[in-house]
Structures are given as C-alpha cells and as structure tokens.
Amino acid sequence: MNAEIKQEYQKIEDKLSEEEFLEKMNEMKKDYEDVSFMNDIDIARMIVGQFISEKNTPLSEKKEHSMDKISKMEEGADKLTIKGRVMRISNPKPFTTRKGKGGKVANVILADETEEVRVVFWTENIKLLKNMKEGDIVQIDKVTVKDGYRGRKEIHLQPRSTVEKVDTEENLPDYSEEITPIGSIEEDQEVNVIARIIRLPGIRTFEKDGKEGKVASLELQDETGKVTYTLWNKDTDLIEELDLNEGDSIKILGAQSRMRNGEISLTHPWVGRIIKGDYDVPEAEENVLKIGDAHEVKDVTVMGLVTKVQDPIIFERSNGKPGSVKSIEIVDDTGSIRVTLWNNDTNLEINKGDIIKITGGNVEFDEYAQSGYRLNTNWNTSLVINPESDGNLLEVLQEYKKHLEPVKIGTISEMEDEGEEIDVVGRVVSISEPREFQREDGTSGLVRSVDMADETGLVKISLWDEKAHTNLKLGEALRVENARTKLGLYSVDLSVGKTARIMNPLPEDLEGLPSFEDLEEMIYTTKKIDDLEEDERNVRIIGRVIDLYDPNEFQRNDGSPGIVRSMEIADDTGAMRASLWDEKAEIPITIGDALRIENPRVTFRNDNLELSIGRNTQMNKAKDKDLEGLPTFKELEEMIYQSRNIEDLEEEDRNIKVSGELTDAFGGKVLSYRCPNCNNRLESVEEEYICDFCGETAEEPKYLLMLPARIADDTGEIRVTFFGKQAERLLGMTTPEVADIIAKSADEGALEDKVEDLNGMHISVIGDAKFDEYNEEVRLNPKKILEFEM
C-alpha cells in the first residue's frame, strides 16, 4: 500500500480493517479491469466514498461548498454533474492499455461562465459524441475530477456517465465557428478552415530520441490560396479512419498555424477535429507537366507509364542511420524521365506497366540522364499508383502499356546488339551454385548461372553479386526485368546485375507458360549413349551407373579447391565415362542407380567421348517412365562387359572382361609419391619431396598404391597395373597401412613377399585395352575387379 492509498484508507480506518480494505480494492479492480482510465487511487477513493457517504453529508452537497461550476470542481471529486457549452470536439484517437487492449479516447472542451475544462471521453463513452456538436449546451452526469496534463484539472467520464442536451443559456460563453480563408492565416493562430485536399502524400516514419514517429502532410486549397496541414503520430490514422482522399473537401476546427521555412503551415492540435463533407470550395485545378517539357522547376505534377523499375539501394546517411533510394523510369506521349524515390517510398509496390501520378516532385538537372533531367521526390510528394481518371493522357498511357510485354525467349537468339535491356518470363530449368571470382581491380565478385525457358526456347542467365544470392527453385516461374543481352560465341545470353530485378510473375505472365515437366520434354532431346556427338547441347541421357569411383580433391589454377568424381554410365547401346564436378561430386549415388542427366557437356577426352556434369547440368534419379527400355544392372553387365580371350584383345577395346591367372606381381616399389597440391609425381631430394610441376616442397606427400603384374589365360598374357582401391583390395591393406610399414622399415620392398604371394590367384577384371607405346604392346587398364581367389 503506497503512501497516497494509505492516506485515503486512514479516512475510514475506524470503519474497516486494512485487510478488508485491500480485499475490497482487489474485488473492485476486477470489476473495473476493462475501464481504461481507472487506476488504484481512483478505486481507493471510490471505496472511501462509500463509507463516508453512509453517515456524513459531503461538503459538496452544501450550497456554499457545491461543485456546480467548473471553477469549483476539485481533484478527487467524483459522481459530479457538469454543465456547459461545447467549444471543441476532437476526433477520437486509438490507444493501447497497459494490458495490451485497444481503445479510443476523445477530448471535448466544455466551458461555463467560470472557465473552460477538458472533458475526456473514453472507449465506453465515444458513442455519446454522435449526438453532440460544437456550440451545444450539455449536462454530463457521474464524472470524476482528475489532475491532468501539466497539472491542469480534467473531467473524466465513467462507464455509466450520461450526456444530455439542455436548453438553458444562463451566462454561458458564446460559440463562434469563424472560417478563416487560407490566404488570411497568420502565424500563431488557432483557425478554422474549409478547404479541398489537393495532395495527400504517404505517411512517413522517422526516429527521434530512440522512438519511431509518423507524419503526414496534406496540401489544402481554397479560393484564396494553399497551405500544408500536418498530422503527427496517431493523428495520421485519421487519414484511413475518415477515408480521406485527394479531391475531398473538409472542415478543420482548431488548427494551429506556425511559420516554417518562411511559409505558413497548419498543424493538427490535440483538441481539434477534421470533418469530411460536401463543402463549397472550388474544385482543384491540376496542371500536369508533359515530360518532354521538363526543365528545372519545383512542385510539379507528372503522370506517366512506368517502363523501368530498379531494386532499392541501401546507403548510410550522414547521421549513421540507413536510408534507401530507388529509381524508376516513366514515359508519356512526349518523352521519358528518371524518377528518384527515397526511403519509405522505395517500399511502394510499383511495377513496370503501372501508371503513376506524382504530385509535388522537383525537376532537377542530371548530366547522366538521356533527357538531361530527372524528377526528384521528397517527403511531401504524393505518389498515386494507377489513378482513377478519364483523361486523354491515361488512355494514351494505357495504349503504350501494350508494348511493354516481356519478350519470348526464343527471339533472344536473333538479337544483334549487346547490352540491350529486355524483360523475360520463364521457368528455371537449371541452377548452378554461386562461385566467387576476382575482378581486374582486385575486388571479389560472385556469379551464378541459371537456365530459363518458355515455350519458345531456353536462355542462359548470369546472376551477378547480390543477385547471385537470390533463392531459386528448379521449375519456379520468374519474371526478370532489365536483363542485358550478352553476345556469346554460340548464343545470346542474359546478364542480371545491379539494375535488373528478379520478381514473381504477374498473373498474365503465366498464361500459356508450360509446366516444368512439359518444358523439360520440349527443351531436352533424349539420346542414347551411342548416338552422342561432341559438343552437343540440350540433350538428356537416361542411364544406369555401372561403376563408381571415389571423389578426388584438386587445386585449380587460381588456387581454389575443387573436387571431381568419375563414374561409368550405360544404357542398351553402350557405356561412357562421366565426370562429376564440385557439388555434383557430392550427390549420393550407388552402383546400379538409374539416372536422368539433362544438359551435360559432351567432351572428347583421352580419345573417347565423356560427359562433364557440372553447375549447369541437372542430375536426378530416373523417373518411372524413364525406366522403360532401360536394362537392369545385371543385364547391362552382360551387355557391356563382354568376355574376351587375351589373344583376341585389340587396341581401344573398352569394358571387356578378362579372366586368368595373376603372374609377375611385383612388390619392389608399391608406393608412388604424389604432390598434395597438383597430384603430380614427387621427386625425393635430400630427404625432401619436391614437385617438378608446381615447384612446391611437400612435407607430407600423398601416396598412390600401385601393383604391377600380368594376367595370363590359355591364349596369352597381358600387362596390368592395379592402383589405389584395387591394389588395396588385392593386398587386404589400406594405403596408410602400407606407407607406415615402409616408413618404419625404411625399405621400399618391405611388402615384396606379400605381393609375390598373389601370383597364381585367379582373377576377373573389367578394363580397357590400350596400346603401350613404350613397351610396344597392348596392355589392360583395369577399371573394376569382379572377383579373385587363390
């Protein structure tokens, strides 16, 4: 119990214990929990009033002490009746209680012959204002007197307060609603005006003392002039609540005038009112500046068709706080101009093809603009998107809009000029991961490649820097604006950089756009492995993995790390090697998987065609319909891996199966020392390993386990060398285990006996036949060991 409540309790301590008093307070709090203006001291006074009135006659009931006039009313008195003339009524304002509940409050200035007082109407009483207007004489029952703003006395209504109009005039002050012409307003006046809204800018936010505020400045006009009328913070809600629009006529009561930058302006007061109605004020005359006539001039109205929109750019203001700027271009029947939008206006949903009306912009000289000028907006500029108007200009702009349709992707290949800006709509059919690069000036950049397609074709799009971070999904429909053409060696590509936009398509963009599945069928031609040719594009291969190798890490020429993994893929016409690069090398794959590979590069390497599967290739598990006609893994093994006698082997035989006895297995030197940077052979010089290729000294080399031997059958024998995992499988040891034994023994031939024990085993190998020019013989390059046994 604080001191103030304690003081109230002491008035009735002979009638009620402290515990009983507090219990009554808690019960009454529950009854009044939704009454926004009741606090603990008010409740304490109500309880005290109940007990004092039972036996004592209040002083207020005695004529000499009656609080029947405003000047006599004292703080803390309640259940009073007040009578006076309504001098001012405010628009209701919203608020939030300490418990998070919303409510409204309105202020009424009431006057009698003694003085004026502020009367507060809360949520429960707002409905009583409907039958009141300025000048009325009213009697309000059951009110409470409180200490208000800056110690001024206030009258507060309670939930059961009543308001009644009365006819008595007595000696009440007169009410006069004098309307001041805008042209006659002077500084520091309280005025009433009737005017028309000729400009209604958006609501702006600002920060002051760590708190966010709101402001909106309406421009008003009557037959005598123009004036700015500013609403602050919660008063800005009146724009929506009263449904204020440009062209509306309004009456404002109690506006406060002030001088700002040498001009008179008006501010909405804490007790003031805006009344929307049909008042006798001239219609606003609007002079729309033709864009072709633009010159350095302030406060103009321009209307045009939006032909270009750029994404906002965030910057740091001089005070260290963030700001944003955004450029658009508009056109009318006389020319085009760039428009600069700032801060809150950059969040407006403005799209290419919208018609925008800009009121209150300033035309400024701009040496970088094609027309020599730009239109700069400010905090008091009004922006109306797609205004309702029956003017001729609007009809002209609607006609121009028909020429802003995105181009069909199939027509891009016919363009001959580099740097031409175009819009396209399509679906993402291929996505690469972003990759970093270094520019000539030493700065780093980011680029990402995407293939987009519509029903007419496919185009490669490069996304640069921040655009490379765009979250994209395969099959997603996109609208790309302001992309620039880039002439490639074989095609015309698109470049999407700082001034371009990546957006969700408009509803009309999706009309006629095929599904992702349909586009796949349209773009990619399914080919058999045996029909592939070098440098083919937009092909699809359906095949099954028949062999798979471990990933290998490497270092690119620019020093960046990479990873590659090889696999063998086959269909009913043949088999070929495929290289999986970087993120594709990490896709989980097992031998026997059926894959659908779209848009791989078909290259010629080591005298054979190979598939290169990188950023622009889509590789997924084959669909059910793809499996029709694709042999099983067992069937492919039988088709691809054909058994041959050694004497029948010919140069360039591929994927042949050779079975025989292992002979001449040599273990004198089973480790090859490799450079950890470039994987080339290392030379040992004075107990150091030096790479002749990259010149680096390696403290710890990479080890390649190798096991040379021959395979013999009844028809002949052939040289073969097993590397890596194959050699580990034959020895039953890992490469690190072999390296450890050799290092500890300091003997390169430490495993010679173990290797020679392999001689005589039966082995079946899948491999390719190659001519060994050094030994002038055909040898077998093993790809997979099928089986071996002693």
- Per-residue pLDDT, 494: 95
Counting other chains too, the contacts that 634-642 makes at CB distance below 8 Å and 24 or more residues apart are 636/544, 636/546, 636/570, 636/571, 636/572, 636/575, 637/546, 639/570, 639/572, 640/546, 640/570, 640/574, 640/575, 641/766
17 contacts 1 by C-beta, under 8 angstroms: no
**Rounded Cα distance, 282 and 259, in Å:** 26
CB half-sphere exposure, 214, CA atoms < 13 A: 12
CB half-sphere exposure, 435, CA atoms < 13 A: 15
Please name which of 165, 157, 153 lies closest in space to residue 106, comparing C-alpha atoms.
157
Element (H, E) at 770: strand 762-772
Q: What spatial distance separates the first Cα and last Cα of the chain, rounded to whole Å?
A: 98
**How distant, in Å, are the alpha carbons of 338, 436, 499 from that of 447?**
28, 7, 15
Q: Which residues contact 143 (CB under 8 A, 6 or more apart)?
A: 78, 79, 80, 81, 82, 119, 155, 156, 157, 158, 161
| Identity of residue 63 | K
- Per-residue pLDDT, 204: 86
| Residue recorded with tokens 């009424």 | 108
User: What letters, b where the CB count within 10 A reaches 16 and e where it falls short, cover 257-283?
Assistant: beeeeeebbbbbbebbbbbeeeeebee
Under DSSP, is residue 132 helix (H, G, I), strand (E, B) or coil?
Answer: coil
The phi-psi region of residue 451 (left if phi > 0; otherwise alpha if psi is between -120 and 50; otherwise beta) is: beta
**Rounded Cα distance, 266 and 268, in Å:** 7
- Concatenating the DSSP letter of every residue in 630-662 gives PPPHHHHHHHHSEE--GGG--TT--SEEEEEEE
- Per-residue pLDDT, 582: 87
What's the predicted TM-score (pTM) here? 0.54
Q: How many CB atoms lie within 10 A of CB 234?
A: 13
Instruction: Supply 238's token pair.
Output: 């009146």
Counting Cβ atoms within 10 Å, is residue 465 exposed (0-12), middle (13-18) or buried (19+)? Answer: middle
| Residue recorded with tokens 């055909």 | 778
Q: Which residues contact 734 (CB under 8 A, 6 or more apart)?
A: 728
**Rounded Cα distance, 44 and 516, in Å:** 72
- Per-residue pLDDT, 37: 57
**Rounded Cα distance, 241 and 237, in Å:** 6
| DSSP state for residue 113 in the 8-state scheme | S
**Rounded Cα distance, 318 and 314, in Å:** 13
**Rounded Cα distance, 28 and 39, in Å:** 11
- Per-residue pLDDT, 196: 94
Instruction: Supply 236's token pair.
Output: 């800005």
**Rounded Cα distance, 70 and 134, in Å:** 18
- Per-residue pLDDT, 63: 47
- Per-residue pLDDT, 33: 64
Instruction: Supply 18's token pair.
Output: 């402290």
- Per-residue pLDDT, 189: 92
- Per-residue pLDDT, 741: 92
Instruction: Supply 536's token pair.
Output: 């083919």
3-state helix, strand, coil in the chain (%, to 5): 20, 45, 35
Q: Quick one: angle between helices 18-31 and 40-55, nearest 10?
A: 120
Counting Cβ atoms within 10 Å, is residue 19 exposed (0-12), middle (13-18) or buried (19+)? Answer: exposed
Please give the backbone phi and psi of residue 15, each rounded to the nearest 5 degrees, phi first.
Answer: -110, -15
| Residue recorded with tokens 């950890």 | 676
Q: Quick one: angle between helices 724-731 and 735-745, nearest 10?
A: 70
| DSSP state for residue 407 in the 8-state scheme | B
**Rounded Cα distance, 297 and 362, in Å:** 6
Instruction: Supply 362's token pair.
Output: 């300033």
3-state SS string for 206-260 = EEECCEEEEEEEEEEEECCEEEEEEEEHHHHHHHHHCCCCCCCEEEEEEEEEEEE
Please name which of 405, 390, 398 lies closest in space to residue 454, comparing C-alpha atoms.
405
| Residue recorded with tokens 């009578």 | 83
| Identity of residue 271 | V
| Identity of residue 557 | N
**Rounded Cα distance, 304 and 390, in Å:** 14
**Rounded Cα distance, 622 and 632, in Å:** 13
Task: Residue count of the chain, please give it.
Answer: 790
| Residue recorded with tokens 């001041």 | 180
3-state SS string for 548-575 = ECCCEEEECCCCCEEEEEEEEEEECCEE
Under DSSP, is residue 416 helix (H, G, I), strand (E, B) or coil?
Answer: coil
**Rounded Cα distance, 508 and 406, in Å:** 11
The whole-number mean pLDDT for each consecutive block of 10 residues of the chain, a chain of 790 residues, reads 81 85 83 64 77 50 67 89 94 83 92 93 93 92 86 90 86 91 93 93 82 90 93 92 92 93 89 92 84 90 90 85 90 90 90 89 88 89 80 73 84 89 92 85 90 91 93 92 86 91 91 91 90 89 92 79 92 92 91 92 87 86 90 88 91 88 92 77 68 70 90 94 92 92 89 93 92 88 87
| Residue recorded with tokens 């000289």 | 365
52 contacts 75 by C-beta, under 8 angstroms: no
- Per-residue pLDDT, 201: 86
Residue 691 C-alpha from the chain's centroid:
49
**Rounded Cα distance, 9 and 397, in Å:** 76
| Identity of residue 66 | S
Relative to beta strand 525-526, strand 492-496 is: unpaired
- Per-residue pLDDT, 561: 86
Instruction: Supply 676's token pair.
Output: 């950890």
Instruction: Supply 541's token pair.
Output: 């291969």
3-state SS string for 382-431 = EEEECCCCCCHHHHHHHHHHHHHCCECHHHHHHCCCCCCEEEEEEEEEEE
- Per-residue pLDDT, 285: 77
